[in-house]
Amino acid sequence: MQRAKKKYMEFKALNIAEFLHGTIEGDENVSVNNVSKIEDGKPGTLAFLSNPKYERYIYETEASIVLVSNEFKPEQTVKATLIRVEDPYQAFASLLDLYEQGKQLKSGIEQPSFIDSSANLGENVYFGAFAYLGQNSSLGNNVNIYPQTFIGSGVIIGDNTTIYAGAKIYDGSVIGNNCIIHAGAVIGSDGFGFAPKPDGSYKKIPQVGNVILEDDVEVGANTTIDCSTMGSTIIRKGAKLDNLIQIAHNCEIGENTVIAALTGIAGSTKIGRNCMFGGHIGVAGHLTIGDNVKVGAMSGVSNNIKSGKTVLGVPAMDHEQALKSFVVFRRLPEMRDQLIDLQKEVTELKLNKQ
């Protein structure tokens, strides 16, 4: 069975160049109705070349239009029509954004669904079937709530926010404007707080705080953000969280910080602005990580990190030191054999002296 392909609206090169303020090289009337990777481009599609290591594909791609940078200088003949722009990747993203805006949006209240009589709905709200909105909660204008979403009591959701199917928003959560919460995400679940008792069992510590997502935050599918024990767990403006991330109680994620999948942030850790975290990172609790920090994938962060640092490894260390350590690590089997040989030589020298 063939897979269905996502279809885009049809545009001519001339229209695309005008929208992007780009320059055309080739047929300005050629049209496209879909997008493709440059390495497997097909007729009628648009691709882009941003990374120089993919340049070889532009000479053989079947894509009808390719976005390239103003500085690109082809070394061979290119069959496709080129549109030169300042930043091909950003231009491509702008085109996809234009397509998304052009799609017909859902609207209205689907049934069956439940909206408490005390809840407040803004204008142009879409509320999907089997979704739930609790007491004294508020939805802003142009909010989209997809089916089977749970929104508890006292929740505030700002304008132009979209919450996809199956997300769970616990009581008291505050979500800003222009946010996106993907399917299966959980916002406001209990923090992991348990006090040990003399008999070896644990007493649950009530988690009475909430979660605040500021404007322009995106939360990936099946990501969980725990509420604070007291006060708020805060995701600052413009932060982007990938799928399958755990943010524990009382954490704070700074503005425009991006975190890739399978990362876990333990309780009460504060992460600064404009940080970049790779996938599968573990961060211990009660740490302070400065602004503009980069953490390599599969690192283990157990100490505070100053602003501007790049770290990786387990435990995470300065990236230059880590790279040197990795070189030594790869040589350990060889060094072990050398050590064994050296021990034999020392033993023989001792025996000869006797």
User: Quick one: pLDDT at residue 350?
Assistant: 84
Q: Where are the beta strands (DSSP E) in 182-227?
A: 186-189, 194-196, 202-204, 210-213, 218-219, 224-226
Q: What is the pTM of this model?
A: 0.86
Per-residue pLDDT of the chain (354 residues; tens, 9 = 90+): 444 555 556 889 999 999 999 999 999 999 999 999 999 999 999 999 999 999 999 999 999 999 999 999 999 999 999 999 999 999 999 998 877 776 667 889 999 999 999 999 999 999 999 999 999 999 999 999 999 999 999 999 999 999 999 999 999 999 999 999 999 999 999 999 999 999 999 999 999 999 999 999 999 999 999 999 999 999 999 999 999 999 999 999 999 999 999 999 999 999 999 999 999 999 999 999 999 999 999 999 999 999 999 999 999 999 999 999 988 989 999 999 999 999 998 888 888 887
- The string of DSSP letters for 27-62 reads -TT-EESEE--GGG--TTEEEE--SGGGHHHHTT--
Taking the C-alpha atoms of residue 245 and residue 20, their distance in angstroms, rounded to an integer, is 35
User: Quick one: pLDDT at residue 348?
Assistant: 87
Helix-strand-coil split of the chain, %, nearest 5 = 20, 30, 55
User: Quick one: pLDDT at residue 2?
Assistant: 46
User: Quick one: pLDDT at residue 99?
Assistant: 76
Q: Any idea which residues carry the catalytic annotation?
A: 249
User: Quick one: pLDDT at residue 3?
Assistant: 47
CB 277 within 8 A of CB 257: yes
Taking the C-alpha atoms of residue 9 and residue 184, their distance in angstroms, rounded to an integer, is 30
User: Quick one: pLDDT at residue 98?
Assistant: 79
User: Quick one: pLDDT at residue 143?
Assistant: 97
Strand order in the sheet with 45-48: 23-25, 81-85, 65-69, 45-48, 34-35
